[in-house]
Amino acid sequence: MEPLVLQLQAECLDSRVSSLEVLRKALVVARKLSLADAQEWIDKELNGYTAGDTGPPYRRLTGQIHTWNPYQGSWMPTVFGDAGEATYLSECFVAQPVGELEDLLKQGRATLEFPFNPETELNLMKRLHVPLRTTRHVSSASVSGILHAVRNMVLEWCLQ
């Protein structure tokens, strides 16, 4: 039987193996080797990041801000008078667990919606003088990049 670390390396390279399965096997290896830092990171990737977690840079994505137009039944781009504010608001931290991200990507949509917290959304409605739902749309390719980064980190960790 092939050693667990070698199996994990092979699975990191095999696109047919889900990132979730790669992380689960990585957790087993990290626990067996008593690698506390790796266990903590894997736990956050498996279960999601919580409020207050700064999280890794690969989980910071930039989206396009859109407002729901109920008259046309579609999303429309939101225009800001302040470019700095638009840039700040378009950035989002993707805190969802890897398994959820994989499920979202399986839906095959080109963009995914990452809503603002209720307070920010309410402030936007007031400042834009538009009482309509506003959110961020992030490309599926960017979200897929999170999963690739996770696999790459596990692979790097296995090669050390």
Backbone angles phi, psi at 113, to 5 degrees: -100, 130
pLDDT, tens only, 52-63: 888 999 999 999
Provide the 10 A C-beta neighbour count for residue 114.
17
The Cα–Cα gap between 44 and 159 comes to 21
The Cα–Cα gap between 1 and 5 comes to 12
Task: Give the mean pLDDT of the chain.
Answer: 92
pTM for this entry: 0.89
- pLDDT at residue 52, rounded to an integer: 84
Q: Determine how β-strand 74-77 pairs with β-strand 64-69.
A: antiparallel
pLDDT, tens only, 112-126: 999 999 999 988 888
pLDDT, tens only, 69-88: 888 999 999 988 888 989 99
- 82-to-24, 53, 85, 108, 136 alpha-carbon distances in Å: 44, 28, 5, 33, 17
